[in-house]
Amino acid sequence: MPIVASGLLLRPASLLALYAAAATALIVESAVLGPYTEEDTSARVTPGTILVVAAVGFSGLLIAQFRSRVGVPWRRGGTMLFDLRERIRVQSKLPALPRGWHREMALRPAGGQSFSGDFVVAARTGNGGRTLEVVLTDVSGKGMDAASRALLLSGAFGGLLGSLPPHGFLPAANGYLLRQDWEEGFATSVHLVLDLDSGDFELFSAGHLPALQLSAGTGKWEEKSADGPLLGVYDGAQFDPTKGTLRPGDVLMLFTDGLVETADRDISEGIDHLTGEADRYVASGFQGAAWHLIETVAKDVNDDRALLLICRQ
């Protein structure tokens, strides 16, 4: 037990000193009690004892080296991960909207993990906060593999949002990714700029899937696609928006590829499935629809999934 506990609490240098003391104690005990024999095994240091102590000590050393490399004490590691998860959750929280609007967002990491490569940043900007800006981003990779990059980018994108004119956000985000020089540093992103008075919106895209708009007048879903390359691929990229208007009863849906793309179906089939399920929530005004849509359309998909709904009531 002391050897196991020391691997969780001590630094590698202190751990080696403890292991040296344990080895010395075994040597002294073996010398005092005499050599091990098959006839008399009572209270003696056996080869099995030595192997067990060595294996436990090696495991403890690996744990101590990992803690030293990360720089987080064992007792604080869980707390730090919890804080990071909460920061991502808070950064992804959508601001309250004025009367006549409804918004909701749901996010599910791959494999039931606590961290995701998909994230949302949002803010009320403009005069009196009459403009809603939302950015939905899908970082390359999934789950824990993409979590560190997603956390860094969510903080950076949150700082850029509202500090730049809408047409300057994605170029600035693209430049930021290029400066990181990551081996797997690309991402897709969609940037919504919505006037909460008129319902007019602009949609900028960086290699992201099209948004879907439900027209209350026709009852049909329409794809809203904008032009733009992936973030982090090349400098000087241009992002041309598409425009539209949300009228009373209309719905705008933003989502990531984990919701519509699987190995056994293409994206168009996934979008048809998503819109078909979404039609069930028209009568209820899409209250609680985001979470239920993910559970229905992509419950067991091994990819990060994010879904955002903006409804004009």
For residue range 126-150, what is the model confidence (pLDDT) as tens digits? 888 999 999 999 998 876 777 788 8
pLDDT band with cut points at 50, 70 and 90 for residue 4: low
Residue 237 lies in a domain: yes
Tell me: do 95 and 200 sit in the same domain: yes
Tell me: do 142 and 265 sit in the same domain: yes
Tell me: do 150 and 186 sit in the same domain: yes
More confident: 36 or 283? 283
- Residue 16 has a pLDDT of 65
For 75, 83, 91, 211, the CA distances from 86, given in Å and listed in that order, are 18, 5, 9, 27
Tell me: do 260 and 193 sit in the same domain: yes
Write the CB contacts of 202 (distance below 8 Å, at least 6 apart in sequence): 166, 192, 193, 241, 242, 243
Tell me: do 306 and 188 sit in the same domain: yes
Tell me: do 22 and 154 sit in the same domain: no
Q: Which amino acid is at 79?
A: T
Q: Which of 44, 71, 98 is the last residue of a domain?
A: 71
Task: Identify the CA nearest to 161 among candidates 204, 200, 116, 213.
Answer: 204
Q: Which of 150-154, 209-213, 279-283 has the lowest mean pLDDT?
A: 150-154
| Helix 47-70 with 2-9: angle, nearest 10 deg | 10
- Residue 121 has a pLDDT of 94
Tell me: do 41 and 103 sit in the same domain: no
- Residue 92 has a pLDDT of 72
- Residue 265 has a pLDDT of 80
Average pLDDT, the chain: 83
Q: Residue 216, Cβ neighbours under 10 Å: how many?
A: 14
- Residue 301 has a pLDDT of 84
Measured over the CA atoms of residue 23, residue 26, residue 27 and residue 28, the dihedral's sign is: positive
13, 67 Cβ separation under 8 angstroms = no
- Residue 181 has a pLDDT of 86
Q: Looking at the whole model, is its pTM more than 0.85?
A: no
- Residue 34 has a pLDDT of 61
Tell me: do 67 and 89 sit in the same domain: no
Residue 55 lies in a domain: yes
pLDDT 10s digits, 19-67: 677 677 667 766 666 655 555 555 566 666 666 666 666 666 666 665 5
Looking at the structure of the chain, the number of domains it has is 2
Say which CATH number the domain at 279 has.
Answer: 3.60.40.10
b or e along 67-98 (b: 16 or more beta carbons within 10 Å of the residue's beta carbon)?
A: beeeeeeeeeeeeeeeeebeebeebbebeebe
Tell me: do 218 and 194 sit in the same domain: yes
Structural domain containing residue 45: 2-71
pLDDT 10s digits, 289-305: 999 999 999 888 888 89
Tell me: do 56 and 181 sit in the same domain: no
pLDDT 10s digits, 86-127: 666 667 789 999 999 999 999 888 877 777 889 999 999 988
Tell me: do 143 and 200 sit in the same domain: yes
**What tokens appear for 72 in the block?**
């987080």
Q: Which of 46, 71, 96 is the last residue of a domain?
A: 71
Q: Which of 71, 98, 116 is the last residue of a domain?
A: 71
| Helix 143-160 with 166-180: angle, nearest 10 deg | 130
